[in-house]
Structure 1
Amino acid sequence: MKRLLLLSACFFISLTTLAQSKIIYEEFASTRLDETRKLKIQLPRDYEENTEKVYPIIVVLDANYLFEPVAGNVDYFSYWEDMPESIVVGIMQGDSRYDDGAYDDVNFMPEDKGADFFEFIGLELLPYIDNNFRTAQFTIAVGHDFTANFINYYLFKDPPLFNGYINLSPDLAPMMAERIPERIPAITTKTFYYLATGTDDIKDLMELTIELDAALKPLKSDNFDYHFDNFDGATHYSLVARAIPSALEKMFSVYRPISKQEFSEKLLKMDTPISQYLLDKYKVIEDLFGLTNPIRVNDFVATATAAEKKKQWESLRTIASLAQKQYPDTVLGDYYMGLALEGLGEPKKAMRTFQGAFDKEEVDFITIDLMLEKADKIKEDFGY
């Protein structure tokens, strides 16, 4: 009996381990820094099984305390498909954070150890991650106070090193609050920028952050995706736990499955083809994040339902055709193709389409019984 319990426990632990993301600890010998740096890397849950998939990179400074909240939120959001699965790379800094972020007293740009650390990330760390892991061409940097200021220096590279910047109560260097708004209009690549403070944040940092927000708000454009939070009652440290999920949710809003709000406020109000909305959504995901994801069943159902309600029969046929190609062994595409053909005045073809899916896998509310009911109804109405 004890042996059986032990085997059961081992089996349970094995399943639990398989379901979790993987944490790797590495020591990176940097020639730029002339020292070894400790890294903490979280790989997505399916990294070892899905060998064709690539993943965005999220670089976390101050990983001694920031890594877990970032990595935990990334794992949670990606589990529910609210953001893509990503590789989280934490740089352990500790007391070296001040030397790492050192800047010149005259031009306030990185100098000495700060300049070395700047080159370490851009010329050593990111190439190493790209060469040793399956990465997509989308990177985000995360920093808090002193290190939040530091990640902004990468905005001044051409093009900027990172696609996204999560600034948590930045301790901005002199002139940075003026330099960032001046730099943003000159950036031609899509840039995501998140800024956060709290009403109980350190007073000087809160005031400077609010000042930066006032200068950045008017700059929102197709290339500059900007978001700001000022959390009520949040301190310099507690705001971190609230800001990280907010930042990820806002930065990856286009990636999320189509929501009820998006369905009612966008899809049902469209006069243009809803099928094009679906195609554009996934083209944006590919262009922004470097990911060629299959269209989710949820998004097929949402757009097809909207097209049916709007009586966009050609649009529905396009959506159905895409679903047939992507999920050929399910009833998904056949069901919506049957509805489209019926709406287009081709009931016999619709009936045959419904009948032809009797041996396929059911999806969501679309059952074989429903398909056969649809076919029988057409047969009864038209006397076939």
Structure 2
Amino acid sequence: MIKKSITIICILFSFCGFSQEFLTKEIKSDFLETTRNIKIYLPKGYEKDSLTNYPLAVVFDAEYLFDAYVGNAALFAAKDKAPKQIVVGISMEKTRVEDTYFDLNTGNFTKSNVAFYDFVKDEVIFYMETNYRTSPFISLIGEGTSANLVSHYLKENKPFINSYICINPVFSDYIGNQFQSYNLLKFTKEDNTFYFYSNNSTSFSNNKQIKISEFQKGLSTFKPKNFHVINDTIVTASSISAMSEAIPRALTKMFEIYAPITKEEFEKNIKNLSPTDAIAYLENKYVEIEFLFGSNTGLREQDIYAIEKIVIEKENGDQLKEFGKMILKLYPSSPIGDYYMGRYYEAGKQHKKALKYYKVGYGKMDPSDPNADKFYENILRIGGM
């Protein structure tokens, strides 16, 4: 209870700190034949940075889900666990039945469902991409019957949604047949990455738990490399608690590749790699971050140090040169790449080249940096030879 309270306090604090970044806009919809208000959150620094693009999150049920999602998104970004996001919320308090309540007898969309589906696809997303600096990575977030609506976007012949987050879903009885008709294998042909999150909960009725469990079991058999299925079960007595827990759990998985290398990631994916493969893994991680999220984070030093031991200790350190080149390519302002290049040439007794890289690296350092003196010792050592 204490941990949950602290989490909620942090989210509320984060939300309040970013309150100046909220906008309200009107969209005149041809599909809905009316005007709808949308709420937009722009991350801190958006106005000052005219070059960066941001992933777009579209949140249904904005009257209660928008603030919760924004709070988590801001907190994850502040902790470097996810890129900053642009979030747009669609309020459905007065229109939820028309927008998302499907035909119970068939599981099919009603005419109103189709109109809302197209409103989001062709008007809301188009408006956001036209007026704001969004990256190609798009998430849809819905709860209850809105989560069922989110899942229907999987049927698009050309997938344009990267992340489908279905919280406390109220799926149709025909959800299994519907998913089979979506031809999920089409995702394997895309040079992209996709995520599908759904949660079960002990707070649900027995029938609902069984339905979601059977659905998740069937979906877990689908395992293409670029389509990540996240079947979650949240142990709680409250559906509200399940909703509040589902958002950060979904974000953790959705932006797993963005976050710095964790101990779990190292043990699972990196530990047993050769130096060449470890270097390639790190380079690919940052190439994918920029491709997916439009974020050029610059190579994190902690990720460099995560594979340093593999490069230095395996194969007699012969890959130090390639390691240095990779760092200079992704993180040119850092002296670390120059250090590894210098170390490689020093080990090979090529002292002039080693001295050159040590000097270049030292020139990139702030004199007040506590490591500057240690770095300069390399220059003195090689210069005295």
What is the TM-score when the length of structure 1 is the normalising length?
Answer: 0.86
Which amino acid is the alignment partner of residue 244 of structure 2?
A
1:233 is aligned to 2:236? yes
Larger deviation, residues 350-359 vs 221-230: 350-359
Residue number in structure 2 paired with 1:169: 168
Note the residue ranges of structure 1 that are not aligned, 5 or more in a row. Answer: 1-15
Pairing partner for 2:195 from 183, 189, 192: 192
Which amino acid is the alignment partner of residue 108 of structure 1?
G
How far is the alpha carbon of 1:59 from its aligned partner?
0.6
Change over 3 Å in CA distance of 1:299–1:101 after alignment to 2:
same
The CA distance in 2 between the partners of 1:17 and 1:197, in whole Å, is 30
How far is the alpha carbon of 1:213 from its aligned partner?
0.7
How do 1:83-98 and structure 2 match up within 5 A? 83-98=82-97
How do 1:246-285 and structure 2 match up within 5 A? 246-271=249-274, 273=276, 274-285=278-289
The CA distance in 1 between the partners of 2:81 and 2:251, in whole Å, is 9
How far is the alpha carbon of 1:311 from its aligned partner?
4.9
How far is the alpha carbon of 1:197 from its aligned partner?
1.8
Q: Does the aligned pair in 2 maintain the 1:22–1:43 contact within 8 Å?
A: yes
Q: Does the aligned pair in 2 maintain the 1:56–1:137 contact within 8 Å?
A: yes
**Cα-to-partner distance string for 1:191-225 (whole Å, 9 max, x where unaligned):** 21011121122333222111111101111221320
Q: Does the aligned pair in 1 maintain the 2:358–2:378 contact within 8 Å?
A: yes
Q: Does the aligned pair in 1 maintain the 2:335–2:360 contact within 8 Å?
A: no
**Cα-to-partner distance string for 1:97-148 (whole Å, 9 max, x where unaligned):** 1110133455432222111101100111110110000111111111111111
The CA distance in 1 between the partners of 2:271 and 2:349, in whole Å, is 23
Change over 3 Å in CA distance of 1:182–1:306 after alignment to 2:
farther
Residue number in structure 1 paired with 2:12: none
How far is the alpha carbon of 1:354 from its aligned partner?
2.4
The CA distance in 2 between the partners of 1:283 and 1:87, in whole Å, is 21
1:209 is aligned to 2:212? yes
Indicate the SS of the match to 1:200: coil
**Cα-to-partner distance string for 1:130-170 (whole Å, 9 max, x where unaligned):** 00001111111111111111111111111234211111121
**Cα-to-partner distance string for 1:292-322 (whole Å, 9 max, x where unaligned):** 5533333334334542233564533233234
Residue number in structure 2 paired with 1:335: 339
The CA distance in 2 between the partners of 1:326 and 1:191, in whole Å, is 25
Q: Does the aligned pair in 1 maintain the 2:336–2:361 contact within 8 Å?
A: no
Aligned residues: 366
The CA distance in 2 between the partners of 1:346 and 1:157, in whole Å, is 58
Change over 3 Å in CA distance of 1:226–1:343 after alignment to 2:
farther
Which amino acid is the alignment partner of residue 197 of structure 2?
Y
Q: Does the aligned pair in 1 maintain the 2:275–2:319 contact within 8 Å?
A: no
How do 1:228-377 and structure 2 match up within 5 A? 228-271=231-274, 273=276, 274-311=278-315, 313-324=317-328, 327-362=331-366, 367-377=371-381
Change over 3 Å in CA distance of 1:186–1:328 after alignment to 2:
closer
The CA distance in 1 between the partners of 2:224 and 2:353, in whole Å, is 47
How do 1:4-153 and structure 2 match up within 5 A? 22-104=21-103, 107-153=106-152
Residue number in structure 1 paired with 2:159: 160
Aligned sequence identity (%): 29
How far is the alpha carbon of 1:239 from its aligned partner?
0.4
Note the residue ranges of structure 2 that are not aligned, 5 or more in a row. Answer: 1-14
Change over 3 Å in CA distance of 1:61–1:74 after alignment to 2:
same
Which amino acid is the alignment partner of residue 134 of structure 1?
R
The CA distance in 2 between the partners of 1:244 and 1:363, in whole Å, is 44
What is the TM-score when the length of structure 2 is the normalising length?
Answer: 0.86
Q: Does the aligned pair in 2 maintain the 1:145–1:171 contact within 8 Å?
A: yes
The CA distance in 2 between the partners of 1:108 and 1:226, in whole Å, is 22
Larger deviation, residues 77-86 vs 16-25: 16-25
| Structure with greater contact order relative to length (CA < 8 Å, sep ≥ 6) | 2
Indicate the SS of the match to 1:89: strand
Larger deviation, residues 68-77 vs 320-329: 320-329
**Cα-to-partner distance string for 1:214-267 (whole Å, 9 max, x where unaligned):** 101111221320111111124222101111101011011111112234345543
Indicate the SS of the match to 2:231: strand
The CA distance in 2 between the partners of 1:146 and 1:19, in whole Å, is 29
Q: Does the aligned pair in 2 maintain the 1:282–1:295 contact within 8 Å?
A: yes
Change over 3 Å in CA distance of 1:343–1:208 after alignment to 2:
farther
The CA distance in 1 between the partners of 2:204 and 2:272, in whole Å, is 42
How far is the alpha carbon of 1:32 from its aligned partner?
1.1
Change over 3 Å in CA distance of 1:252–1:129 after alignment to 2:
same
